[in-house]
Amino acid sequence: MPAYRYQVRTQDGRLQNGIVEAPTQEAASQALEERNYEILSLDVHSGVEAKAQSLIQFLNRISAKEMVGTVRMLAVMISASVPIPDAVRNISHQTKNPRFKVILADIANEIEGGSRLSEALDRYPNVFSQFFINMVRSGETTGQLSDVLNYLADQQERDYDMMSKLRGALMYPAVIVVGMSIVGFIMMVYVVPKLTEVLIEAQVELPLATKILIGASNIMAAFWWLIIIGVIALVVGFTYWIKTDYGSYVWDSLKLRLPIFGRLFRDMYVVRFCQSMQTLMKGGVTLIQALEIASAVMGNAVWKKMIVETIQEVNDGNSLVTVMQREKIVPSMVVQMLTIGEETGRLDDVLRRVGDFYARSVANMTANMMTLIEPIIMIILGLAVGGMVSAIMLPMYKLSSAT
């Protein structure tokens, strides 16, 4: 969507600069006039400026930890009867992230101009999810905004803790594998050729493992630049591929079927679905609306497709679990519990219990995985290094024995 840079005068006479996204310049002008701004200038945000702005946003991206702290502080201030615009502005003064500081200040200005908090948040869909905005809107409607914000902070803290543990479990093996791959590549290009020169000059019969090692080393030494370009192209191509609908679906499906990590990912998405649905339904959101919002925040194309099909089934008068009970990615216990929740009219309570159970399961699996991964990696690396050393040392030993 095109972006427009503006300078306006607010109702209290202050000058304000910013960027607004709109399909046309007329729509951007209308959006600013609706906020009771006096437009002084409105120009197209150029491509160069937009790229620079995107880079600034990337460098100043808002972390989950910052968001959790902001929501918690906002809930405390509102429960202490601090006016919402004053609470948001006070938090913006304490925020160190420059981008988040500007966003919070603009939200405070919007609320002072007559907008509701949910409407002001909706101007920043890349920062605040539809799940978050709908929960705030439900809190405003029911008059329990501080309770909803506290609940959102708790939910975000649980999600943040779960994702932190998952990243911790995946980060260690990823760093070790990447580091050893780089070291192995350097050895194959620079070290192995010098060690095998003696064997080649001696013209002794080489074992198959040594021949394979020398062949691979020669290819890497001759075409190292091509290999590096190929790896970079593969990474870039894969990144773009998983952003497509088909690539995203295939990749997300593969993650759920991995030998070791598949169950962890499966349980993690069960937790995300149950906690999101329970939070939304507790906030007064209807089942269909909760499913629509949950499908957007799952972060998995397979789960999203399943929830979209579930929405159609529910609209047709069928059960919530009609689609889930034929999908292998949903544990049978979850299907049974949701069925009981529907039949007894206590779906939100069942969702909470199931979410808590699988959250503990994810925490336990993550802890066990971090304990087991280290020796497994050490064994694999030991076998790789041992194979390389034996491929070099065995013919050298035969050569020295023959002489």
Residue 57's pLDDT is 46
Q: Among candidates 260, 296, 291, 294, which has minimal Cα distance to 370?
A: 260
Which of 115-119, 169-173, 315-319 has the weakest average pLDDT? 169-173
Place of tokens 């209308």: 30
In terms of residue numbers, what domain contains 81?
A: 64-157
Q: Among candidates 49, 50, 28, which has minimal Cα distance to 39?
A: 28
Place of tokens 């049974």: 336
Percent of the chain with pLDDT over 70: 88
376 with 281, same domain: the answer is yes
Classify residue 171: in a domain, yes or no.
no
Residue 234's pLDDT is 93
Q: How far apart are the first and last CA of the chain?
A: 77
Classify residue 205: in a domain, yes or no.
yes
Across 176-180, 330-334, 379-383, the highest mean pLDDT is recorded for 330-334
Classify residue 113: in a domain, yes or no.
yes
287 with 208, same domain: the answer is yes
Angle, vertex CA 192, rays to CA 190 and CA 193, nearest 5: 75
Do β-strands 15-21 and 3-9 pair in parallel, antiparallel, or remain unpaired? antiparallel
Residue 401's pLDDT is 66
> What digits encode the pLDDT tens for the residues 84-106?
888 888 888 888 888 788 888 88
User: What letter represents residue 331's amino acid?
Assistant: P
Q: Among candidates 271, 278, 281, 333, which has minimal Cα distance to 303?
A: 271
Classify residue 48: in a domain, yes or no.
yes
Residue 306's pLDDT is 92
145 with 231, same domain: the answer is no
Pick the more confident residue, 40 or 254: 254
Place of tokens 């336990």: 364
Strand order in the sheet with 3-9: 15-21, 3-9, 38-44
45 with 70, same domain: the answer is no
In the chain, what are the helix, strand and coil shares in percent, each to the nearest 5?
A: 75, 5, 20
Which of 125, 157, 189 is the last residue before a domain boundary?
A: 157
83 with 150, same domain: the answer is yes
309 with 363, same domain: the answer is yes
Q: What is the CATH number of the domain that holds 119?
A: 1.20.81.30
> What digits encode the pLDDT tens for the residues 23-39?
677 777 777 777 677 78
148 with 185, same domain: the answer is no
Place of tokens 């998952």: 166
304 with 200, same domain: the answer is yes
Q: What is the mean pLDDT of residues 181-209?
A: 76
86 with 17, same domain: the answer is no
What single DSSP character describes residue 298? S
Which of 28, 59, 90 is the last residue before a domain boundary?
A: 59
Q: What is the mean pLDDT of residues 284-294?
A: 83
Q: Which two tokens mark 67? A: 């968001």
Q: Could you tell me the pLDDT band of residue 399, with boundaries at 50, 70 and 90? A: low
Q: Could you tell me the pLDDT band of residue 204, with boundaries at 50, 70 and 90? A: low
70 with 55, same domain: the answer is no
Q: Could you tell me the pLDDT band of residue 52, with boundaries at 50, 70 and 90? A: very low
371 with 298, same domain: the answer is yes
How many domains would you assign to the chain?
3
Classify residue 297: in a domain, yes or no.
yes
Which of 124, 157, 190 is the last residue before a domain boundary?
A: 157
Classify residue 185: in a domain, yes or no.
yes
139 with 273, same domain: the answer is no
Q: Could you tell me the pLDDT band of residue 22, with boundaries at 50, 70 and 90? A: low
Classify residue 165: in a domain, yes or no.
no
User: What letter represents residue 210's amino acid?
Assistant: T
Classify residue 172: in a domain, yes or no.
no
